[in-house]
Amino acid sequence: MKYILLIMIGILVLASSAFAASWHGSVGTDSGIWAIERESSNLTFDYQQNVSGQIASVDYRGRTLNPYHSLYQNLDVNDVRVKERTAALKGVFSSKELLRVRSRIEESVNMALTKPAGTDTYDVEFYELWPVRLSYNKSMKYSGEGINNREAVGNNQDYVGAGFLYNHEFSKERSVKMSLDSLNASIMATDASIGSSEVKATRDTQYKLQTHSTGIASFKWHQVDEDNEVTNTGDERFVGVYDIAKNIRMKSRFELSREPDDWLPCCSGGWSNMHPSDKKGYGASAKSVFDCTCPTLIRA
């Protein structure tokens, strides 16, 4: 090919002493480039919080601070993601949450390049075994002048999102479990162009929710296939007073395997049929490669 088929793996050490790694793979042709970039780490993270109280005004240095509560939360480990935003005015508020994350980068990222005989097509495969496990349970209750809450969870292009706006009475019980086992990217290309590409992430997402909403409640979700095409999707909106229960499960599983490299097996045969003058060029030690005895290593 006129362009370089490239995989790069960069290693870095985080300040928290967790071992992190990233890799970038690209396939270039005369008409375009396909690329992927991934990052993960050997990470253990546990977070637990309990809050119960009243959002109220506070006197500070001769002035009164308006009652307010806000939350900003982002988490992204190898494209396993959690986001949440909360803003609340004066009222009674309580929440309880437990978040646990585990990720590993113990296996190397590998690339295989093959070109079947008689064709002008290259098959490029990237193999990643960087698993992630996440569980997140949260409950929230509010009564007051108004609260807005938005959250979204994602797992390698699969997505579930929920939003609650202008609620005076609000509660939710939410449980999320997500796992990522492996990723396999496959690209078929010629010198002229990229023929096809697939990204196969073996993953599992389960989202459970029970909520009481007195404002606007909205929900979105979608799931993609190996071609990054959306295979199922949903979009809902509720205005008024509702009790809502949801249970969403999205699972994609692919076998991560490579064909054995058997282009030159140990026992090839044909030694006995070779002309004696041809055998001399290889030496006596080459006999074992062809007659299936295989050489024996002699250590000093």
Return the structure tokens found at 67.
Answer: 């009652």
Q: Mark whether 140 and 108 lie in a shared domain.
A: yes
Q: Are 53 and 42 in contact (CB under 8 A)?
A: no
Averaged over 19-28, what is the pLDDT?
A: 84
pLDDT tens per residue across span 201-218: 999 999 999 999 999 999
Q: Is 257 part of a structural domain of the chain?
A: no
* Residue keyed to tokens 């042709």: 29
Q: Is the predicted pLDDT of residue 232 greater than 70, yes or no?
A: yes
The Cα–Cα gap between 41 and 78 comes to: 8
Instruction: Please name which of 249, 78, 252 lies closest in space to residue 160, comparing C-alpha atoms.
Output: 249
Q: Is 146 part of a structural domain of the chain?
A: yes
Q: Are 167 and 143 in contact (CB under 8 A)?
A: no
pLDDT tier for residue 290 given thresholds of 50, 70 and 90: low
Confidence (pLDDT) at 274: 63
Q: Mark whether 204 and 246 lie in a shared domain.
A: yes
Q: Are 152 and 209 in contact (CB under 8 A)?
A: no
pTM above 0.85, yes or no: no
pLDDT tens per residue across span 67-118: 999 999 999 999 999 999 999 999 999 999 999 999 998 777 888 888 888 8
Confidence (pLDDT) at 227: 84
Q: Is 97 part of a structural domain of the chain?
A: yes
What domain range is 281 assigned to?
265-300
